[in-house]
Amino acid sequence: MRKKQITLQAKLKQIVLAINFIACPIAFAYDPLDCLNDISKIDPKIIVGLAVKLCSGAYSPEPVKCYEKIGIIDDGMIRGIAIDLCAGSMDANQTTDCYVKAGKEKLNRGLAATLCGVKKIEK
């Protein structure tokens, strides 16, 4: 009986491992085109060039979540600054929380976006 129980446990572990192996690529299938589709639903009037800037290299929905959240937090922010803040974000909550803290320290929107956004490569 003990041997059957060990064998059953081993088989269950194999099944769980196989399911994880199959499901993982599906979970990480988000890409920049998904980002463009998502941002067009959130902000249908966004200029294509700005949407591309936000979604460039976005392999998670975090930049879009950040953009949506910052629009609620600071409804006076212009799109360009919101995109500077959110493009490349790996954690929307962390990015927007930093922005709020920077505002409390009296940084203007542009400086807060520079401080809390992902560092962009200078051309």
Task: Spell out the domain ranges in the chain.
Answer: 1-29, 32-116
Residue 69: both structure tokens together: 């959240």
Global pTM reads: 0.76
70-99 pLDDT tens trace:
999 999 999 999 999 999 999 999 999 999
The DSSP secondary-structure symbol of 108 reads: -
For the CA atoms of the chain, what is the radius of gyration? 21
- Of 36, 1, 37, 62, the residue nearest 70 (C-alpha): 62
- Residue 5 is predicted with a pLDDT of 58
Spans of the chain below 50 pLDDT: 16-21, 23, 25
- Residue 12 is predicted with a pLDDT of 53
- Residue 17 is predicted with a pLDDT of 47
Rounded alpha-carbon distances, angstroms, from residue 36 to 39, 50, 84: 5, 10, 16
Rounded alpha-carbon distances, angstroms, from residue 82 to 16, 48, 57, 66, 99: 41, 15, 17, 9, 10
